[in-house]
Amino acid sequence: MSALRFSPRQLALLVALTLIWGLNWPVMKLGVSQFPPLTFRALSMWLGLPVLWLALRALKVPLTIPRAEWPELARLSVTNMIVWHVLAIISVQALSSGRAAILGYTMPVFSALWGMTLFGQRLNARQLAGVAAAALGVALLLWHELARMAGRPWAAAGMLVAAAVWALGTQQLRRTAMRSATLAIVFWMTVLTTLVMTVLASALEHGRWSAPNPAVWATILYNAVLIFGFAQPVWLYLARNLPPIASTLSVMLIPVLGVLSGAAWLGEVLHWQDFAAIALMLTAIASVLLPQRATGPVGQGAA
């Protein structure tokens, strides 16, 4: 297997994605602590859709999806966005932002397991070591939190289910037979997810609706512009155009940023396990980002 290579553009997108998504965990926690979570997500998505649409029009991305691809679009929407956004935003209200980020980013471990069990994906020794490092890092980060989780196991379980389904979606997106442009797929998946979130928010939270205060509006706008207008499309672009092991392990710095920013902004306490886990997460990232020593003719890297 040839070394996994990232183009300068892909690396720049990864850095921006990591910063925006990592910092969003305490931002989301602040927002849903003062506002109904499903409504928070629905508002963010409605405001983010025009931003995404304008960006795609500026890039001249054709948005038409052939009718024959609609069933596949619906399936990819469920596994890549709908389950994740519903379960994650409900769970983050009951968990600390750092803990929610940690549980959400068990996704690379689930992705590797889906790849091996369902799709016959073979990993080289360094990639397997990266998965193991990521798994150990997650275990260390959870170590000090188990006592608190005991009171709200549904939230922890919800984040794990969300991560497992998201991981499956990443594998499916990489292998989709859809010929439509990736960003067109992203746009229509976002539309479908926005409609689902709106229906759920209306059905379950309409009795709690009130005008957001300025702090909540700031968190909603952060999610609208930076998450749904930028980070979500970038992630799905990378997930479709990079091998799943590369795209998933390379974003393992996101929960590290979630933990550190949660400690800095929300006063969440850090322990030695957190710092050990950071080293393991960086090891997992290095397992896919650092070039391998060539043992023969150099093949083509991942597009």
Q: Give how far the C-alpha of residue 165 lies from the chain's centroid of Cα atoms, to the nearest Å.
A: 11
| Contacts for 210 with CB less than 8 Å, ≥ 6 apart | none
Tokens of 299: 């093949």
Q: What is the pLDDT along the chain (303 residues), one digit of tens a residue?
A: 344 567 888 888 888 999 999 999 999 999 999 999 999 999 999 999 999 999 999 999 999 999 999 999 999 999 999 999 999 999 999 888 888 888 888 888 888 889 888 988 887 888 788 888 888 887 876 776 665 665 567 888 899 899 999 999 999 998 999 999 999 999 999 999 999 999 999 999 999 999 999 999 999 999 999 999 999 999 888 888 877 666 677 677 888 889 889 989 988 887 787 788 778 877 877 776 665 555 444 333 332
Tokens of 115: 């790849």
In the chain, DSSP assigns E strands to none
Integer Cα distance of 82 and 74 in angstroms? 10
* pLDDT for residue 244: 66
Rg (CA), the chain: 19
Closest by CA to 188, choosing from 155, 132, 232, is 232
